Structure formats: structure tokens, C-alpha cells
Chain A
């Protein structure tokens, strides 16, 4: 019983980390109907930037997120402006898969040249600390990451629902032509929206770098998990991706701890397939119009 509860705690905390990483991905899809295959690579880039800044300034990695977030926002917006905006609307959805995958490979190559392929991690000294509560171990960093996820998701929600920018984004999603006629600069909105989605990987990268050793090739495992979380939750639904991340985290942890670790990821895919059989749009997604 102790093991079950401990595994549940571990799963919830891990789920929080994945929710943080997936929020940007699902936001980009929701705004632009673009599947950003480079999201994992941006998270790794965020991890490297945090690591370098931490080594240079010794400022706490969680605080460094305030620096890396605007930086990644600019990088994301620039990616959209120069690489995705020129795509013709008819081909955009399919071609964006190729373009963002190319961006992922390019980022991986750049980071390999700058940082080599040795495994790195961010080590402020407290990364392995755990609190012991009622006999259960709760890792500090994962707990803070969990709180950070919730905070970021609330901020994203408020941004989209309560601000003029958010309204402009939602209008552009619903009908770009009408939005433009009403004075919304769709091109800028798309760029900023993409930038926002990429900016979340700054926080995600800092957390990821604290928890797991990483190298430039780590983005492959990440992107495959992020895509499955986002599809299970429903493309475009931030709330959905949170719940899906929790399902993934808890499911994998319980299977690893109570059964065989080799089945952990499989269980998640089994859940995904079952859900998609009955709800092709994922748990909370809207039915996609047009082919993907």
C-alpha cells in the first residue's frame, strides 16, 4: 500500500512536469493548427540556456526562467515569422510538420556543436532533496515544477480569455479573414502566439534540466511523449493536456512500480488507442476540420 501511494505521488509530480511541457505544444496547435515537432528541441534549448546562465551567474534556475522565457519567446516568434509564415495556407498544415522537424534537427545540430554530446544536468545543489511526509518522499524540484505548471497554465488561460491579445488570437483561429477585417493583425498575432507556445519551453527546460541528465539528442524521447499527451488530451485543449499528462504520469509510475518497467510506456499507448477509438478528437478536443 505504501508503494502504491508513493508511486501515485511520483506519478502526479511527473505528470505536472509533462503538463508544463505539453501546454505550449497544445497552445500552438490550438492557435495555428500547426504541430510543432520542434517543441522538444526548444525544451532542451531552454535546459541548455538555463544551465549556461546558471553556471555563469549562479542565480537559482527557477529565477532564471524570467530571463529565458522572453528569449525563447523571441526565438519562437522569429521561427514562425521567417519559416512558417511564408508557407502557403493550403499546404501549411502538412508542410509545417516538415519545417518544424527541420527546425528540431537544426537545433539539435547547433546544440551538439556548442555543447557536445556529453550528458549534462543543472545542479544548484538541492536537485536531489526530498521532503519526508508521513513516510513518503516528495522531491522538492518536482513539487516546485508541479506548482510552476499550475501557475503557467493559469497565466496562459487568463492571457487567452481576458486580454485583448488573447481575444485577437482566438478571433484569428476562428476566422483569419474576418479578424483582419476587424483590425486584427493576423500575421503578428500568429507570430506572437507561436512565440508564446515556445516561451513555455523555457520553464519546462529549466525543470527538465534539473530532473534528468540531457544532451542534444534528448528531444526525440520528449517530442514523442509530448505528442501523445497532446493528442490524448485533445489538440488545442490546454485543460485536456493537463489531464492527459496526469494520466500518463500516474499510469507509467504505477505500472513501473507494481508490475514491469518495460510495460510502463506501453500502458500509456494502450490508453491512448482506447480513448481514440471512442473519441477520435481526444478527451477534450474539438473535432478537427480538414485533414492533418
Chain B
């Protein structure tokens, strides 16, 4: 047959087709760890974004899971069974993640599954787990849509639904005496299901307490230039600025503020400022001083097991404590929950996991966790602030390592 002006043989086409399919499938499946089907192994299946938009966080989660696997097997595994992971790549695709979990459960017959990265992928994945009666401990899906699934098998391994990430900042501001409180607020929000609701949550509480909204606008994710937006924000002279951000736009917002010489007395960023390495790299270490964000785990955390986690992480992956992504701590914590269920009940099947975790409170690297009927954690995040070049907890008072610093010092340029 002819393709254009070249003659192509049928056999050639079939070979090409088979080779392409093989290449595509093999690039989407990466097997990590042993996958021996021997009795005596506890096989855990996970789909992660090893490539694509979420790959940085997907790889961080992989490190957290495999580090936990190494540590738990050192202690003899779970109930005498060696833990093995089958980690497959979803390339950050919501369609692929469904295929992956279906295969992990029906073909690979894993004993347990754990969650992928992001609310976007957790929602479809959790439906697969529910259909087959599997528990779904997941470290990284905390947006409202995840809990709207009303999945009783799901457990989100962070202190609260992510929209609550700003509540602790609102708690702090509203605890200030009226004379020292901000009078006006500006909200500059990314059009994103995590960032915008979080900022709107803070706005609702501030407005109820009489803090006047002087700027409230959303920008799309492809916004290249934040300077006109920040220039409009600065013109309204808000005392406190709440940035509903992910990472790239958080850096862009701060850079624009520096360039426009606008330094609010309080600045809260929902994400980006929590990256212990990238934030100071992108905006300059001296400029981080006084910026607020909320965290569950951060390098100076005093949660039990944190020091051992950091030590083991550096031994396995190198780097320093400040290069550890919080997603690794969250994935690691997902594993420790399994350990705790096994220790308490001497069983590790899915029904037991689901029934056991719905009662009581469970200590992890990211705090003491307890969940409502649909997996929404009932705790609170920690308010963290950059002081002296490091992220430190400043609220609530009981967990604070330092007192909050206000007003925010001027930019250093």
C-alpha cells in the first residue's frame, strides 16, 4: 500500500504497530520493588505521577512510600509479612489512574492500595477502591471534590481538608486585639480548586469580623505577568494580603510585589511559601522573612518520629532536611498508619483497616489524625512563618515554636 509517495508493506505496518503499543505500554508501567506473589508478602499497589505535570510531587510521594517500605521491613514487616510495593505510572492522567488501580486490584491482586498525588487523580482512583471494597489511605487528595464522593473507605493523610488550610491564619489574625488587627484585606487568587476556596474561606471569616475587603480578584493559571494584578492590588493599600496560590504563581506574586515596592503588613500564601528549598531560592532568602503559610510537616517539625524520618531519608536519598518535600512525609505517614492498625488489631485486611481507622486518633508525622465518615480529617493545620531563614510554627500557641512576627519587614530588593 502507499502512504503518500512511499510504499509500505503490510508486515512493516503491523510490526510498527506492535512495537509502538509495546513501547507505549512499557513506558506507562514502572515496577518498583519486588513483586513476588509469595505468601508472606504484603503487596501494596500505588499509582503515582512519575511523569507529567505532577511529576515533582509524584516522585516525592514515591520516595516517601519506598522509604517507609525500607524502614518497616527492617523491623520485620507487618505482622511478619514483608511489605512490597507495586508502583505504576499514571503520567498525571485521570484516565490512566483509573486503569492502573483497576489492574492493580483485579490483575495483580494486590492486598492493599494507597493513594496517588492530587485531588484531581484521587477522586477517580477512590471510586475504583470503593467498588472493590479496598481501603484507600491517600496522602495528597484533600480538595472538596474528594470528600463529596462520600467514600467511607477513604482516609486523607493530612490534618484537615485543604480548604481549611487558611483557617489557622484567620484564627491568629482574629486573636489579635482590635487595635493591632488589619483593617483592610486584599485577596489575589489562582483559579484552582485548592487555592481559591482556601482564600475565600479566610475572606468569609475576615469579613464576618469586620476586616474590609478592598481587592478580590482571580487570575487564570496561564497568567504570565503578575505585575499589573499586583499593581492594582497595591493601589488599594490592603493591610493584609491573602494569596490563594500554588507554587509558580506564589513566586510570581512575591516577585511582583518586590518590583512594585509593595510590602503588606501581613502576607499569607496558601502554597509555594511552604517549599523549604524553592521559596527562598526563587525570591531570595532575606525576602522570606515574615511570610505566613500553613503546613502539616516541615523540616523543623517536632512531631514524634520526625527526626528519625529525616535521618533515614537523608541516608537513602541524600540532600539535607530542607530539601525534603512535605509530600514524602505524607506518603510515609500513610504507611505508618498501616503499621499502627496491624499493631492494634493483629490483622491487616481492608475491612479491618476501614473499621479501625474510623475510631480514635492516630499519631503520624503530619499530626494526630482522626476522620469523619467520609475520610475528611478533623484536625487543623499549623500556621508556619518564615523567620531567620527557616519555616517555623507560630500558631496555635500550644504548638508554636516562636511567636508570630508582625508587621512583615520591608522587601530587601
Chain A residues close to B by CB (< 8 Å):
2-3, 6-7, 10-11, 14, 116-119, 121, 123, 127-130, 132, 137, 139, 212-213, 217, 221, 225, 252-254, 256-258, 260-262, 264-265
Please tell me if the beta carbons of A137 and B260 are within 8 angstroms of each other in the complex.
Answer: yes
Binds A, one of B33-41, B147-155, B212-220, B344-352: B212-220
Across the interface, A261 reaches (CB within 8 A) one of B217, B248, B259, B260, namely: B217
B interface residue count range (under 10 / 10 to 19 / 20 to 34 / 35 or more): 20 to 34
Given A128-B258, A253-B225, A264-B223, does the pair A6, B413 have CB atoms closer than 8 Å? no
Chain B positions within 8 Å of A129 at CB level:
259, 413
Number of A-B pairs, beta carbon distance below 8 Å? 95
Chain A positions within 8 Å of B228 at CB level:
7, 10-11, 252-254, 256-257, 261, 264
Task: Flag whether B93 is at the interface (Cβ < 8 A).
Answer: no
Chain B positions within 8 Å of A3 at CB level:
231-232, 235
- 6 nearest A-B pairs in the assembled complex, by CB-CB distance: A261-B219, A256-B228, A257-B228, A253-B228, A128-B258, A257-B232
Q: Closest residue of chain A to B222, judged by CB? A: A221
Q: Closest residue of chain A to B258, judged by CB? A: A128
Please tell me if the beta carbons of B260 and A130 are within 8 angstroms of each other in the complex.
Answer: yes
Please tell me if the beta carbons of B229 and A10 are within 8 angstroms of each other in the complex.
Answer: no
Distance between Cα atoms of A6 and B278 in the complex (Å)? 30
Please tell me if the beta carbons of A262 and B218 are within 8 angstroms of each other in the complex.
Answer: yes
Please tell me if the beta carbons of B227 and A10 are within 8 angstroms of each other in the complex.
Answer: yes
Please tell me if the beta carbons of A262 and B248 are within 8 angstroms of each other in the complex.
Answer: no
Task: Flag whether B390 is at the interface (Cβ < 8 A).
Answer: no
Least CB distance from B346 to A in Å reads: 43
Please tell me if the beta carbons of B259 and A265 are within 8 angstroms of each other in the complex.
Answer: no
Residue pairs across A and B with Cβ atoms less than 8 A apart, 27 shown, are A3-B232, A7-B232, A10-B227, A10-B231, A116-B56, A117-B55, A118-B56, A119-B282, A127-B255, A128-B284, A129-B413, A137-B231, A137-B261, A212-B225, A213-B248, A213-B252, A213-B282, A221-B222, A253-B228, A254-B228, A256-B225, A257-B231, A260-B217, A261-B217, A261-B219, A261-B223, A264-B223
Least CB distance from B354 to A in Å reads: 36
Distance between Cα atoms of A265 and B191 in the complex (Å)? 14
Across the interface, B220 reaches (CB within 8 A) one of A14, A127, A254, A262, namely: A262
Distance between Cα atoms of A262 and B229 in the complex (Å)? 10
Please tell me if the beta carbons of B413 and A261 are within 8 angstroms of each other in the complex.
Answer: no
Chain B residues close to A by CB (< 8 Å):
53, 55-56, 191, 217-220, 222-225, 227-229, 231-232, 235, 247-248, 251-252, 255, 258-261, 278, 281-282, 284, 411, 413
Please tell me if the beta carbons of A212 and B413 are within 8 angstroms of each other in the complex.
Answer: no
Least CB distance from B356 to A in Å reads: 38
Distance between Cα atoms of A14 and B231 in the complex (Å)? 14
Chain B positions within 8 Å of A262 at CB level:
191, 218-220
Chain B positions within 8 Å of A118 at CB level:
56, 278
Please tell me if the beta carbons of B229 and A256 are within 8 angstroms of each other in the complex.
Answer: yes
Distance between Cα atoms of A213 and B272 in the complex (Å)? 12
Please tell me if the beta carbons of B225 and A14 are within 8 angstroms of each other in the complex.
Answer: yes
Chain B positions within 8 Å of A119 at CB level:
247-248, 251, 278, 282
